[in-house]
Structure formats: C-alpha cells, structure tokens
C-alpha cells in the first residue's frame, strides 16, 4: 500500500456541487498539506495542518475548506465547485523536525 | 517577496549525456533544499536534498550543488536515461520549526534517444 493515499484519483463534477477529496497516510507523520498544481504555476499550498488540532490557510485557501479527522486523515472540500478549480490536487505529509515531504499520487479534478 | 524559481521551462538532452537543471532562490534564510522528480500521472518524488552547511551532495547518478553566495541550486544527472524524463522541482525550506517548503514552478526534462 502507498504511504500517502488519495481518493478519488479522478473526478468530474458539475459547477456548484460540493466535493470532498480524501487523504490518508501510514507514515505516522504529524504534518499534512494540500497542494494544487496547475500547468506553469507549480505547486501552490491550499491548507496545512501541523497536528490534529491545528489548521492553517495556505496561499490559495479561498473556496476550499479542510478537516483533520485524525493524525492519518486530512480531507479537502470544495463547498461549491467552480470551473477554475479544475486542477491536479496533491496531499503531502512530513514529520516534525524533518523537512522532506511525501506526496500522494494526486487527484485530477475537473469541474464542468 | 521570497520566491523559488527555475531558469528554463524545458530541457532536452541526448540519452547518455549529463543533464544540469538550475534553480535560483531568494530567501537567504533558507537552510534546506530538495529536488523532486514528477513523472506523468504521479506525485512528486524525493530525489536528493542538501542542507545549507554543505555545498555539494552526491547520490546515485545525481549530484546537488548549492552556491549560497549567488543563491543558486543545481541538479546534475549523470548519463541521462529515458527514465529520467520528467518534471523536476526545486524546493526550499526557510529556517524555523514551523517553516514550510516553497516549490519552484518546475522544469521538464526530455531525453532524446
């Protein structure tokens, strides 16, 4: 099994719909992140969590919300999806005191 | 503001040649740097890292060089293979326990047979 698992891998949804992307990890890491990747723009941080009771906005949090249900689970929600949220979404984890991130395989989201 | 950027968006190399991918960073307080490789349809994967108290680190076929004077990071891939074709990202981590990685935009490496 992958260390960081994202579900679904692909999703097509309609404008205005609520959608949740899920991330679970078996690394035992405290820190979890959600990134968005668009062509030419690299990885942009949406939200991050340093432990179960900690939630922080990243650089592009508008239109998104998150929930840290447990140390191993961090979900990203789009309350009312819009077409410009079409992108590749990545979840990542890291351990406190160590700086390298482990990424999931990504969720390709298309909003039509 | 602080930023991490790559000089070129694409790099094409002949199979067997050495590849050099460059990255400029602007946060002089960054103390840790990473190179990631992202293959099509996959998430970024760690390649090699280097701390600011070093100027060179070698792995298997890869070498990272850090020049703090000009805030420059490079990734060298020896004997480039078709499997090296991917997007490469540099990332920097500012100093402090709660700092986060900042990623460059990525460069595509294309290996010609």
Task: Write out pLDDT tens, residues A60-102.
Answer: 999 999 999 999 999 999 999 999 999 999 999 998 766 689 9
Query: Exposed, middle or buried: residue B60 (CB in 10 Å: 0-12, 13-18, 19+)?
Result: exposed
Chain A positions touching B89 (Cβ under 8 A) are: 42-43
Mean pLDDT per 10-residue segment, chain B (113 residues): 54 96 89 93 93 95 96 97 95 80 90 93
How far from B96 is each of A31, A47, B5, B52, CA to CA, in Å?
A: 15, 19, 21, 13
Q: Does A39 touch chain B (CB under 8 A)?
A: no
CA distance A69 to chain B (A): 21
In this structure, is the dihedral angle defined by the CA atoms of residues A87, A85, A5 and A101, taken in order, positive or negative? positive
Question: Which of B75, B94, B77, B71 is CA-nearest to residue B24?
Answer: B71
Q: Does A4 touch chain B (CB under 8 A)?
A: yes
Are the Cβ atoms of A105 and B98 closer than 8 angstroms?
no
Chain A positions touching B45 (Cβ under 8 A) are: 103
Are the Cβ atoms of A50 and B49 closer than 8 angstroms?
no
**Lowest mean pLDDT, pick from A13-22, A35-44, A93-102:** A93-102
Backbone dihedral region of A101: left (phi > 0), alpha (psi from -120 to 50 degrees) or beta? beta
- Separation CA B94–CA A85 (nearest Å): 28
CB contact at 8 A, B99 and B91: no
CA distance B105 to chain A (A): 4
- Separation CA B17–CA B23 (nearest Å): 20
How far from A23 is each of A13, B34, B51, CA to CA, in Å?
A: 19, 23, 29
Chain B positions touching A48 (Cβ under 8 A) are: 100
């Amino acid at each position: 099994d992958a260390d960081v698992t994202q579900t679904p891998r692909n999703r097509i949804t309609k404008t205005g719909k609520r959608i949740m992307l899920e991330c679970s990890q078996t690394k035992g890491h405290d820190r979890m992140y959600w990134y968005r990747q668009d062509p030419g723009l690299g990885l942009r941080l949406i939200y991050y969590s340093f432990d179960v009771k900690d939630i922080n906005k990243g650089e592009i949090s508008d239109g998104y919300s998150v929930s840290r249900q447990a140390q191993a689970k961090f979900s990203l929600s789009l309350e009312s999806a819009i077409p410009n949220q079409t992108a590749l979404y990545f979840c990542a984890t890291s351990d406190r005191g160590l700086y390298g991130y482990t990424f999931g395989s990504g969720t390709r989201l298309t909003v039509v | 503001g602080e930023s991490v950027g790559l000089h070129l968006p694409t790099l094409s190399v002949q199979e067997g040649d050495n590849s050099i991918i460059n990255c400029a960073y602007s946060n002089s307080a960054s103390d840790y740097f990473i190179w990631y490789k992202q293959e099509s349809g996959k998430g970024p994967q760690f390649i090699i890292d280097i701390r600011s108290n070093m100027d060179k680190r070698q792995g298997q076929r890869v070498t990272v060089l850090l020049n703090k004077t000009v805030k420059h990071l490079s990734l060298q891939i020896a004997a480039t293979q078709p499997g090296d074709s991917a997007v490469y990202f540099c990332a920097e981590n500012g100093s402090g326990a709660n700092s986060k990685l900042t990623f460059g935009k990525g460069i595509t490496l294309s290996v010609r047979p």
